[in-house]
Amino acid sequence: MLDYRNFSPEEFATDPSFRNWQLKGREEDTRFWTEWMAQNPDKKKDINSAVKLLEAVLESFDQITETEISHEMHRMAERLDELPTTRSRVKSHRLGSTARWLSAAGVLLGLVSLGWWLSRNIQPVSAPLTYEVLIDHSPVALTEIVNDAPSVQRLTLPDGSTVVLQPGAKLSYEPEFSGAQREVYLSGEAFFDVAKNPERPFLVFAEQLVTKVLGTSFTVKANPGEDQIQVLVKTGRVAVYTNLDGKTTAVPTPTNELVLTPNQQMVFRVRDNHFARSLVETPELLTAAEKQPNFIFKGTPIKEVFETLEKAYGIELVFDEDVMRNCYLTGSFTDETLFEKLDLITRTLNASYEQVNGQILIKSRGC
């Protein structure tokens, strides 16, 4: 296990696990880094700097592979270490923020050279898929519904699933869903409440993105001409993955799949195939009103409080149990939103929280 405590922003940016977390949202890496950040809150500044460095690279070049990024960053780091002024500074004390960003600038300069070479030796990515291209390539005849009205349009699909189309949205689907999977094609925004059928997955094709479910409710926003596609999950669990070749047989792989759970959302940036997972703006309770917890706590251990919130909203709360083992809460909550509840709870405990990759990270020094 690497000792990340002594890592600089550049070293975080070259670490494969860190990049898998930030660029691909892999579950095991996300879990590790979320827990690591909870245990090392003082490293937040370095983490943020590393994220900015990666974002700068992604903004400039969208064809550089993981191996090439890692190789180029390490090569530039080695060259920087050979400079006498840099070497003596490292020996005496930790690099200051100015020196660290000069180092990052050197890394980016190397990537500029690499990107220049790649732009002349790698074929450009094909043009983004469109709704029209997808339906034209369908092997079967499709039924198309276009909502030209100024209000939403509700419809029921052949399998009993329901769809709410926003104004201007289009939806195409097989009249009978005769294949092994239920496939629909979307342009615009729609809310889906999918009938459960474990034997026949339900797939929503929206330009370069595919959302796959067995039975759940979620929203897809894929407006023509926009650089991003958004998926918001209300209930259940969905897998979202890229479909760059336009085939309806596209299969998710560990490198292009992102799993979303209730009250999570995903934004897919079309220009560089980048996923970003977060929480929806206002998380909703998962159970009906009569089955919802009362959120009344009387000297309740904070672990039980957080478990109650997790179960009610389907959102993972990450915290250090050892640090907060002596924390208890007395209070009651009624109509507050999840974030309002968390504001009151953390303020009472002299703690804080933030959203990290679709989870809630609680930071506390104990009680």
Q: What is the 3-state secondary structure (H, E, C) of the chain?
A: CCCHHHCCHHHHHHCHHHHHHHHHCCHHHHHHHHHHHHHCHHHHHHHHHHHHHHHHHHHHCCCCCHHHHHHHHHHHHHHHHCCHHHHHHHHHCCCCHHHHHHHHHHHHHHHHHHHHHHHHHCCCCCCCCCHHHHHHCCCCCCEEEECCCCCCEEEECCCCCEEEECCCCEEEECCCCCCCCEEEEEEEEEEEECCCCCCCCEEEEECCEEEEECCCEEEEEECCCCCEEEEEEEECCEEEEECCCCCCCCCCCCCCEEEECCCEEEEEEHHHCEEEEEECCCCCCCCCHHHCCCCEEEEEEHHHHHHHHHHHHCCCEECCCCCCCCCEEEEECCCCCHHHHHHHHHHHCCCEEEEECCEEEEECCCC
Report the pLDDT value the prediction gives residue 267, as an integer from 0 to 100.
93
Query: What CATH topology corresponds to 131-279?
Result: Jelly Rolls (2.60.120)
Report the pLDDT value the prediction gives residue 17, as an integer from 0 to 100.
84
- The ranges assigned to domains in the chain are 4-121, 131-279, 289-363
Q: Which of the following CATH numbers is that of domain 289-363: 3.40.50.2300, 3.30.2130.10, 3.55.50.30, 2.40.30.10?
A: 3.55.50.30
Report the pLDDT value the prediction gives residue 85, as an integer from 0 to 100.
40
pLDDT along the chain (367 residues), means of 10: 77 81 79 87 85 66 49 49 39 39 46 41 53 87 94 95 96 90 95 92 92 90 91 93 63 67 92 88 82 88 95 93 95 92 95 92 93
Task: Write down the pTM of the prediction.
Answer: 0.62
